[in-house]
Structure 1
């Protein structure tokens, strides 16, 4: 018996990316391949402010989520853990922040 790998958000997306939204915010965008993938990513019982807060260690109240069904896009913004370019900043362009979201397993 072999275990089937669990499907992740990255498996359902055309692209998942993160970027700066100014020196104090990160924005992530999920561009879903099709309506089924968008339905999963936009499901507020699965992907919500609490999920993002848990994944990124931010305050749930500070997370902003935007669902755009006509484009099959979910956009997420939250404060950076440290200011861009500060001494403790490990990702100046916020280009790697999307990874925990991309590998998030989706419900079966």
Structure 2
């Protein structure tokens, strides 16, 4: 059985923010290029995982992009509620990354 590590052990930064009023983006910035490469090669962080964590259709996951120069992965989803709409609880989208903290990565 392979060892797994929680994403929190592997990253320097994990955050969410608006990508306009109708989209949220999530950034994973890893501690090293070696860790980033292992996570990227594992394929664990993908559209299906993001959709599952946020209980949204896969079609609402706009993209999951590996950005090698910054040792980062960026995922973007359709906001469940547009920024500033009635009933929306996080105008800036800055507190939406909590579900990502449960990701386990095989190492």
Q: Is the TM-score greater than 0.5?
A: yes
Tell whether 2:106 aligns with 1:100.
Answer: no
Aligned counterpart for 1:32 among listed residues 13, 30, 34: 30
| Equivalent residue number for residue 71 of structure 1 | 70
Moved over 3 A (4+): none
Give the alignment's TM-score, normalised by structure 1: 0.84
Q: Secondary structure at the match of 2:21?
A: coil
Tell me by how many angstroms 1:86 deviates. Answer: 1.1
- C-alpha displacement of 1:98: 1.1
Q: What does 1:1-108 correspond to in 2, within 5 Å?
A: 7-43=5-41, 45-63=43-61, 64-108=63-107
- Per-residue CA deviations over 1:59-85 (Å, capped at 9, x if unaligned) read 212321110112101011010111111
Q: Give me the TM-score of the superposition, normalised by structure 2.
A: 0.85
Greater share of strand residues, 1 or 2?
A: 2
State how many pairs are aligned: 103
Please, which runs of 5 or more residues in structure 1 have no aligned partner? 1-5
Q: 2 CA distance for matches of 1:42 and 1:100?
A: 19
Q: Distance in 2 between matches of 1:45 and 1:72?
A: 15
- Structure 2 CA distance for aligned equivalents of residues 20 and 44 of structure 1: 27
Structure 2 unaligned residues grouped into runs of 5+: none
Alignment RMSD (CA, Å): 1.7
